[in-house]
Structure 1
Amino acid sequence: MSDPASPLPPGIALALLSAALFGASTPLAKLLLGATSPLMLAGLLYLGAGAGLLALRIGARYIPWLRPFSGQEAPLRRTDLGWLALAILTGGMAGPALLMLGLAHTDAASASLLLNLEGLATMVIAWGVFHENTDRRVLLGAFAILAGACVLSWSGSGITASRGALLIAGACLCWGIDNNATARLSGADPTQITLIKGLVAGTVNLALALATGASFPAPSLVCAATLTGFAGYGASLVLFILGLRALGAARAGAYFSLAPFVGACLAIPLLHEAPTLRLALAGGLMGLGLWLHLTERHDHDHTHDAMEHEHRHTHDAHHQHSHAPSEPTNEPHTHPHRHVALTHRHAHYPDLHHRHTH
């Protein structure tokens, strides 16, 4: 595991890059929304994610530089199917549909910042349901993000709950559930998870759109939507799952809060939306929350219980095990392996090996 004291541990870098890709997709989706229905666009975005990753998976058999997509991670098992179904239902079907409907009633810059509520939903579920550890700094960061969302919704007489804002909040709740479900799968192949999620969710949303009277948009828009989906949903989700593996759901969700800043900044030149003082104040509060999360350090004596699981790994301090003759020896590699009980101290995050009680 990387030392969290380093300038930017890989798990954080992966989560932030994932956030940047997803954040950029919001104003791009807003541009495409006027020419097609919200459900049709949601379907095309997820089909683009699934089809793009499937193409990479096939190409990896023949093109050496695509080998990271060839399935060198632990495969999904039957015991993972329940969590995968929940992730597809909430994050692949309900979330994108609600976001597209919300974007139809909200300007893209405000919608992008409201998407910070996804990080809060992820953290609340991670802490309240799955009992991930937290501390004062992480809580203060969460409150700063929530304060930014409240500033964004302020109308002068109070906080308004417009139809668009409520729909986007619903999308964020769905993705919060999705992120925590996906965290239970994060030891498995992220490309396989995203590929299945994209193809299933995209097909269902597309079928619903056609069943409710929508028609296919022009080929140029289909191409733009699928490319946006591949980058903003496909590549982004693969990176986010790797971030979940290293950081846990609460912290990966917190770092993902960069996404709204990227979206809001791009919405101004792309959609000619005027920057406002309210937008700047909301962005400042949300930026403070992100900084508090980025500067967290968690270090204490902790005990690893004996456990057996499967994921891609190297022989670091947590993976000092022997191999059967049939198991791979080159690193990193994937095979079922057993951890013996271990007590030690170092800086860590609630990754696959540090989801202990406090």
Structure 2
Amino acid sequence: MTPLPKDQFDIITIGGITRDLFLKVDSAEILESVSLKNGTQKSLLLPYGSKIPVSEIHTAFGGGAANTAVSFARLGLKVAFCGALGQDDEGEKALAHLKKEKINLALTTRVKKQITGFSVALASFDGQRTILTHAGANQALAPTLLKEDFFRQTQWVYLTSLYGQAEEILKRILRFKQKYHFKIAWNPGSQQIKAGYKTHREFLTQTEILILNKEEAADFTDLPYQEHFYEGIHLLGQRQGILKFTHLLPHYVVDTLKIMQFLIQTGVKLVVITDGQRGAQVYDGKTHYFIPAVNIKPISTLGAGDAFASTFVGGIIHGQNITQALGLANLNAASVVSHFGAQLGLLSYTNLIKKRRSQSGKVVKNSLKC
């Protein structure tokens, strides 16, 4: 029987947890290709049938819900983690790791005949990563694990990749939200991205913060990048008052404006789109925000998105405005990519505030009517 929560939670994270193995492969080559829908894409090339030297090996814990739970905890928030692990040594170690971070584990379950989720991250010479992943016990996360008493006691719910009974989990969350009025931050996983926005119309109307990377946003909405969108809409804005850009933005920022506007029209309150080393954007239906990424050579980019998203949401929970939260998120993501592993570089809220005073990047704000 799950014990009842004793305290109010700031946030509950729901989704995946994995054991991650990092392999640094310096000899891999990068192939660029271009598609009409998603623009330029890169692929990692390794010689077929060859023995590939690995220059470094590292292990860490990962998974979207676990990464963000640790991030929220280090930001000084009261956190519960909801996920499924195998009844194996890796699952035992993962739970001990989360417990050490002072995360409530009452909503976790151990699954027989399933291993704990596992990922192999291939890190190339430029710090980018290609991930091979096995969901394992994550597929056993079921709606029944979401105990109602815990959702009565939380201010926020953060959802990441969901497998198996994903749609039933989302329906249960909606039902609880209607009763207890907590807020939802959602970073959809590959299964939800593939299903698309039409499948999730109702959930989108109840989502306060939606976080996607640029490629996910295009796939989720079935809208292509609009790489020359800026020039056309800028002229239209001058004529009709739709857009008032007081600062010029690079093309790789403005090519997602149409997607962000579309997502706001689905009912989402705030849209966050990340674009790796090109920075991140936020749109609330009235104002568009852009922050360039910290100029740093990454060791591994795995976990950067989770760090950015959770720190942005954590900043909002702490009462920061959008500009301030973006600054914190940017710094924490930069710290994470300076390490192997998605959690090792996560900073405390106090350290982030100190860093922001001395290293804060410039946030560009512009009016943009939906």
Give the TM-score normalised by the residue count of structure 2: 0.25
TM-score by length of 1: 0.26
| Bigger strand fraction | 2
Question: Which structure has the higher relative contact order (CA within 8 Å, separation 6+)?
Answer: 1
Q: Which has the higher helix share?
A: 1
